[in-house]
Amino acid sequence: MRGAGVVRQRRAQRPLRIGILCASTVLAALASAPADAADAPEVVQTVCAACHGPDGNSVAPTFPKLAGLQVEYLEKQMREFLSGKRKNEIMDASLPALKSADLTAVAAYYAGQTPAAGTVSDEKLAAAGKALFDDGNTASGVPSCSGCHLPTGAGNERYPRLAGQHATYTAAQVQAFKTGARSNDKARVMRAVAARMTDEEIAAVAEYIAGL
Ligand code: HEC
Ligand code: HEC
C-alpha cells in the first residue's frame, strides 16, 4: 500500500518537474542566444537567410538586421507585409514563404539572436545625430528618439530596437515615414516624428544609431 502511494506521488510530481525542465531549457537557450543556423525554423535557413543572414545579422546595408529585434515588432511587421499594410518590392518575393511559415517561431528565433555591433564611418555626423537622438530639436518640434526607443536604442515591447542597425536602412525607413511610403506605424507616431526632420538630421541620426 505504502509503495503504491509513493508511485502515485511521483506520478503527480512528474508534470511539474517536466515544466521546470522545459522552462530552464528555454531560458538557457535564450541566454546563450545560439547563433547556430541549424536551430532556425526551416524557412529562415532556406529563404530569409539569403538577405537577412542565417542569424539575422545581414551584411548588406539595405537589408535590415533582424537579430535582437523585439518579438512583438518582428511579428507585426511580417503580418503587415502579408496584409499589404507595409509594402516593399524586395520582400514581395518572400511573401509566399512567409505565408506558410510559423511567424511566431520565426520572430522568436530572430529575437533570440545576438545583434552584431554596427559601425560608424563618420564620427562628426554621428555626434550631430547623438544630440538629436537624445534631445530632439525643440525649434522644429522633433521629439527625442530616446524617449521612446530608450537612450541605448535597445527599445522594448512597444518601441523597436534601433541600436546597431545599418545607417542606410534606418535613413531609408525614416525617409519612408516622412513621405508616407511607409504608413504602418500605429497612431502615425513615426510619420509625425519624421515629418519634422530635415534630410541632414535623418542622415545624422541614422549614423549615430548604427554605432549604438
Ligand atoms: C531578397 C532579400 C530578402 C529576403 C529573401 C527576405 N527579406 Fe525581409 N527584408 C528585405 C528588405 C529589403 C527589407 C526592408 C523592407 C523595407 O524597406 O520596408 C526587409 C524587411 C524585413 C522585416 C522588417 C524589419 C524591420 O526592421 O522592420 C522583416 C521582419 C523581414 N524582412 C523578415 C523576413 C523573413 C522572415 C524572410 C523570409 C521568409 C525575409 N524577410 C526574406 C529583404 C529580404
Ligand atoms: C512617440 C514614440 C516614438 C518616438 C519619439 C520615436 N519613435 Fe521611432 N518608432 C516608434 C514606433 C511605435 C515604431 C514602430 C512602428 C511600426 O510598428 O511599424 C517606430 C519605428 C521606428 C523605425 C523603424 C525601425 C525598423 O526596424 O524598421 C525607425 C528607423 C525609427 N522608429 C526611428 C526613430 C528616430 C530616428 C526617432 C527620433 C528622431 C524616433 N524613431 C522617435 C515610436 C517612436
Give the domain CATH number at 189.
Answer: 1.10.760.10
Residue 62: pLDDT band (50, 70, 90) is very high
Atom of ligand 1 nearest to the CA of 78: 29
| Residue 117 counted as domain residue | no
10: in domain: yes
What confidence score (pLDDT) does residue 126 get?
A: 98
Q: Which cell numbers in the block locate residue 176?
A: 519612408
Task: Please say if the pLDDT value at position 105 is more than 70.
Answer: yes
Q: Are residues 166 and 184 in the same domain?
A: yes
* Structural domain range at position 13: 1-32
Contact (Cβ atoms closer than 8 angstroms) between residue 172 and residue 96 = no
Q: Does residue 102 belong to any structural domain of this protein?
A: yes
Residues 47, 100 share a domain: yes
Residues 129 and 186 in one domain: yes
Instruction: Tell me: pLDDT of 7 over 80.
Output: no
Mean pLDDT, range 30-34, rounded to an integer: 46
Q: What is the mean pLDDT of residues 102-112?
A: 97
Question: Which protein residue has the closest C-alpha to ligand 2 atom 27?
Answer: 173
Task: Give the integer Cα–Cα distance in Å for 74 and 106.
Answer: 9
pLDDT of amino acid 36:
63
> Is the distance from the beta carbon of residue 90 to the nearest atom of ligand 1 less than 6 Å?
yes
Gap from CA of 145 to ligand 2 centroid (Å): 7
Q: Is the CB of 195 under 6 A from ligand 2?
A: no
Q: How many domains does the chain have?
A: 3
pLDDT exceeds cutoff 50 at 18: no
* Per-residue model confidence (pLDDT) at position 39: 79
Q: Name the residue at shortest CA distance from atom 8 of ligand 2.
A: 190
